[in-house]
Structure 1
Amino acid sequence: MPQPQTRYARAGETFIAYQVIGDGPMDLVYAGGIVTQIDLCWDFPEIERFLTRLASFSRLILFDRRGTGLSDRMPAGELPSLVDWAEDLNIVLDAVGSQRAAVFAERDAGSAAMVFAARHPERVSSLILSNTTARHGRAPDYPCGQPPEFAEQMYHTILEHWGTERMAAVAVPSRAGDENFARMSARYQRAAATPRVAAESLRYSSTVDVRDILGEIECPTLVMHRSRYPFLNPGHAAYLQQNIAGARGVGVEGADAFYAYDRADEALGHIEEFLTGSREQTYAEQVLLTVLMVDISGSTEMAAKIGDSAWRDLLQRFHSEVQKQLKRFHGHEVDASGDGVFATFGSPARALRCAAALVEEIKALGLTLRAGIHAGECELAGKAVRGLAVHIGARVLAEADPGEVWVSRTVRDLVVGSTFEFKDEGSYDLKGVPGQWRLFSLDKVAGGEEKEPERRFSRRRR
């Protein structure tokens, strides 16, 4: 699925970044707290799959709260309050035209979500609280809380190690030892917040106590918790379940702070069943498909040059040509968003011929196209096509030069002995994909379906 566009809602002089994905019958807001950066989260295949599944039954709304990610940062020495963070949610709902939404909040975002649900009951249809708490610290009437020294230890750990590979194993122990993931995670942390903001946010969250408003939460509530989550023992979840009227509780095995990396389907099943009354079958059909990703090079500059109206007309003509070529080469459009298209084919040869035809035909519109192709096992669940193969196809596209068709070695090997010729473009690190990948550019297409004439692609050196 193409990455959704980031937009901004305004809270006074503060700008809050948000995205909307999916067109399901309900609005669902995901709040991830300090560890969010809504542009970069799509670089992780597991998170992309998790969010795409949520968007399959909802209109999913993502946002970076003030002080983090793409939203406005705070001046040195200042932090937003719990009320500010709750208001961010309110402002984003207004910006997307949502009157009422379900709210899924994890970790340190949970307290703000509870405040929002209590203050704005008319706007919250359901509440999902995951690995969160009404109060962090231990007290005589709250024996499950953490001892005072725990928060200080975490404060200094984050101050020293935030934005480094070390924190990846702390948050996602199931991926310990994965060096590529650790590097990506460190980059993500740095983009989400500075060490000071991350540490101060944790310190502030450790002082929060929202127990007095739990009785004001009226909406259906699901409390989820990891059985071995190292930062909160199960007593925190039990307290929420006992003190929010009608709340249900479910446990998910594991220690990761993020469900996307361990037992994702189990967690997603609980969420979907709670919100919709049923859940998608955990078994998704596995099929071998060729994935084609295309987009228009320089689309932003072109749109600015010719104006919105002319650009809309041009996009319409572009998508008409795409439909024509997909029909010709028996492709299936999975998703089309703005200047990009994601399609699948039963054979790599058809995908290659379709991509080559599109690159040439689109030139008549004054546009330059690029394409990325990969073949692999995909998950089919309803209309959705998911899996690592889809993510790899998108990463191959990201490396392709304008006017060219790039493919993975898998595709090149599958058409060995055919009329296609390729140029070796070398090895690449693909974001979110383990190891190095050999990529090739399509250099020649000769003959084939519909007696297609020979095509040679003009080359430019990288």
Structure 2
Amino acid sequence: MRFSFGDVVLDTDRFVLERGGEPVHVQPQVFDVLSHLVLNRDRVVPKTELLDRVWGDRFVSESTLTSRIKVARQVLGDDGSAQAVIQTAHGRGYRWVADVQEEQVGAGAEPGRGPVPHARALQQRIGFSRAPDGTRVAYATVGEGPPLVRAAHWVTRLDYDWESPVWRHWMEGLSRSRTFIRYDERGCGLSDQEPEDISFETFVQDLETVVDELGLERFPLMGLSQGGPVAIEYAVRHPERVSRLVLVGAIMTGRLVRARTDDERRESDMQRELIRMGWGRDDPSFRLFFSSTFMPDAPPQLWSDFAELMRRSTSTENALRHADVSVRLDVSEVARRVTVPTLILHGRGDLRIPFNQGVELASRIRGSRLVPLDTRNHLMQPDEPAWEHFLREVDEFLAADDQVRSPAEVHL
């Protein structure tokens, strides 16, 4: 949805704020405050509602909200005296008072061409399962039709991802003709935040737990980033259940395993230190480093959104535990035992996981097909050609699988 007022445009689908045609960088909380106020401009929004909506279960004082309102006004050319855009209802909350033009922009529509039908409504369904060691694992389904399961990777939170510009288009694109199933890793998101064991073995067990909970007998499996090794291991252990394997920007060997020089090993240590020092801070500077490597060609606002998602998804301690597992991953030999049809998609310029990781996987998985994607973004964005290329390849690869199975219904 696009909201226009004066020379300002607030795009809540793309999480972009523009003024005079130029993007304006604001903190994620400021953007969230603006979005909630403009979406509820027919009423006074209580302070407690804004605090719950923007900060969730994190405790922050009213002064924090007041400071974000002040920044929001400055960005919009408003102030506490004029209150031409955001009006204070003393003792109650805030209300958006500026005249707004509202425009729905669907996929492929050009801004300024008038309203177009909005994308189909999506409804997410969240459930919970228990791993063998008692750890709670949260999962979610969206869409209808044959299933597609995505192995978990870190920096996710099922409820927040639903509104995140980093992940929303993944759910929309991958559920266009199927039931898309994903889950939060242990220690992340809505899954148990204090699991006793965070290891590659428990990652595989959590995948087993979710698909068993949903009663899936045979299904295509997707592995993105460090979810790739988990998907590969599962496909080797359960070839009778995996109909097709899709690997996207997947890791074959972790950063420490593939390090060949002292500088490469020091770089791995440096990234761990950045997590330790900066993950939980209000100042997102440290986390912005990671955002820029995941999405180097995305707008800076998305870097901030992803940095905020990092903090919301897990604690500093768990982030370190996950990172320690990730850098030591190695499925170079396991990959040789994959027997299911496999599609490998990898960005040629991927700054997070080098393209040669995709090449090495393709050389080991017999009969697999490697599709290079023209992008530097590890997490592709919906407005780049590589995204549509990716969706088209996945749809075509899974089409043969869909034709031989009856539509699957997933009940929570």
If the TM-score is normalised by the length of the shorter chain, which range does it land in?
0.5 to 0.7
User: Which aligned pairs between 1:438-457 and structure 2 lie closer than 5 A?
Assistant: none
For each residue in 1:370-411, what CA deviation from the matched residue of structure 2 results, as whole angstroms up to 9, or x when unmatched? xxxxxxxxxxxxxxxxxxxxxxxxxxxxxxxxxxxxxxxxxx
Question: Which structure is higher in RCO with an 8 Å CA cutoff and minimum separation 6?
Answer: 2
Residue 62 of structure 1: which of 178, 182, 200 is its match? 182
Aligned partners of 1:3 and 1:42 also within 8 Å: no
Tell me if 1:216 matches 2:334.
no
Q: Give deviations 1:137-164, integer Å, cap 9, x for gaps.
A: 5779x97999322321221222233362
| Aligned residue pairs, count | 273
Aligned counterparts of 1:122 and 1:278: Cα–Cα separation in 2: 14
Higher strand share: 1
What amino acid maps onto 1:222 in structure 2?
L
How far off its partner does 1:129 sit? 1.1
2:307 aligned counterpart, secondary structure: helix
Cα distance in structure 1, aligned partners of 2:391 and 2:332 = 27
Matched-pair contact (CA < 8 Å) for 1:155–1:200: no
In 1, Cα distance between equivalents of 2:181 and 2:396: 19
Cα distance change, pair 236–144 in 1 and its aligned pair in 2 (3 A): farther
Matches within 5 A, 1:130-209: 130-137=248-255, 147-162=264-279, 164=284, 166=288, 167-178=290-301, 181-209=302-330
Equivalent in the alignment of 1:400: none
Deviation digits for residues 265-293 of structure 1 (CA, Å, limit 9, x no counterpart): 121111111111599xxxxxxxxxxxxxx
Where do residues 277-356 of structure 1 align in structure 2 (5 Å cutoff)? 277=400
TM-score by length of 1: 0.55
Q: Counterpart of 1:6 in 2: which secondary structure?
A: strand
In structure 2, what residue type is equivalent to 1:52?
A: E
Does 2:402 correspond to 1:274?
no
1:80 corresponds to 2:201: no
Answer whether contact 2:124 2:140 (CA < 8 A) is retained.
yes
Whole-Å separation in 1 of the counterparts to 2:173 and 2:298: 21
1:110 and 2:228 aligned: yes
- Say if 2:137 is the partner of 1:16: yes
Q: What is the alpha-carbon distance in structure 1 between the residues aligned to residue 332 and residue 154 of structure 2?
A: 21
Change (3 A) 1:248 1:68: same
Q: 2-side partners of 1:204 and 1:130: how far apart?
A: 19
Question: Any idea what SS the aligned residue of 1:211 has?
Answer: coil
1:244–1:46 Cα change, 3 Å: same
Give deviations 1:314-333, integer Å, cap 9, x for gaps: xxxxxxxxxxxxxxxxxxxx
Identity across the alignment (%): 25
Q: Which amino acid aligns with 1:50?
A: W
The SS at the match of 2:137 is strand
Could you tell me how far apart the structure 2 residues matched to 1:254 and 1:231 are?
12
Work out whether residues 122 and 142 of structure 2, in 8 Å CA contact, stay in contact via their aligned partners in 1.
Answer: no
Unmatched 5+ residue regions in structure 1? 280-462
How many Å apart are 1:3 and its aligned residue?
3.6
SS in 2 for 1:43: coil
- 1:43-93 C-alpha deviation (Å, 9 max, x unpaired): 135632331221122111111121211101235xx5422121111111111
Deviations 1:164-221 (A, max 9, x none): 262433322222432xx34432331122112222233122211122222112211111
Contact kept? 1:223, 1:250, Cα under 8 Å: yes
CA–CA distance in structure 2, aligned partners of residues 109 and 120 of structure 1: 16
Name the amino acid aligned to 1:162.
Answer: W
3-state SS in 2 of match to 1:254? coil
RMSD, aligned CA: 2.7
For 2:349, the aligned partner's letter is: R
Q: Which has the larger radius of gyration?
A: 1
Look up the SS of the partner of 1:173 in the other structure: coil
Given that residues 135 and 145 in structure 1 are in contact (C-alpha distance below 8 angstroms), is that contact kept between their aligned partners in structure 2?
no
SS at match of 1:118: helix
3-state secondary structure, aligned to 1:170 = helix
CA distance in 2, matches of 1:175, 1:111: 26
